[in-house]
Copies of this chain bind each other. A is one copy, B any other.
């Protein structure tokens, strides 16, 4: 992959115009590449190895496990997103990351990550901006689970994913790949897998969207937005 055009560069460039030197730094950060097989954990809760990763390709999720064996998925990073940034400062990871498909990541030493804030303050700010966006998405997820019904929350979830993927050019007009099974969706949406199935059937019957064989097709984005209370946000860089 030509890393000067990586997803990460594309993302950060929307925040500040990056200089040659800053681009060089990003290229260096992404110089290593590590393959992770589907189902493997990149980071596990409580781990203290001081490493962050940049997702280059594939699908992953961050989650926490409960004592009773339950799982809550926090977020699904897309290519260009940072994984485990928070644990760089907390020193011990507070949640786990797992690869949902085969995945390619670039590892970044925690110390290197911190030194960037000294060496390339503008780049550091851009990274913080991206982290702030990620946090805002987690907050929105919290709102969904706390105050939206199963169908609203599901519709909202897919709309958000749709927007995110379009921004990095991974969704066409009405369609995108989404290799999540209903158990994964359930753990993300705070529902049971069986109820996810019922909700998806409902959305299909209403002719709003379908999820089939790892592909989402949006039939009626406007109606989905009405249903879920989704509003296009003004992303002001």
| Interface residues of A, Cβ cutoff 8 Å to B | 48, 64, 66-68, 70-72, 74, 86, 89-92, 94-95, 114, 117-118, 121, 124-125, 128-129, 132-133, 135-136, 138-143, 145-148, 189-190, 229, 231, 233-234, 236-237
Contact = CB atoms under 8 A, between A and B. Distances in A.
A114 B125 contact: yes
A74 B142 contact: yes
A165 B115 CA distance: 33
Main secondary structure of the interface of A (DSSP, over half): helix
A3 to B, nearest CB: 24
Contacts of A139: 64, 74, 94-95, 138
Contacts of A74: 139, 142-143
B66 A148 contact: yes
B129 A90 contact: yes
Contact of A147 (B72, B132, B143, B147): B72
B90 A147 contact: no
15 contacts: A66-B147, A66-B229, A67-B231, A70-B147, A72-B147, A74-B139, A89-B132, A90-B133, A90-B136, A91-B237, A95-B139, A142-B145, A145-B145, A145-B190, A146-B190
Given A124-B117, A125-B114, A135-B135, A143 B90 contact: no
Nearest to A90: B132
A143 B92 contact: no
Contacts of A118: 121
A92 B236 contact: yes
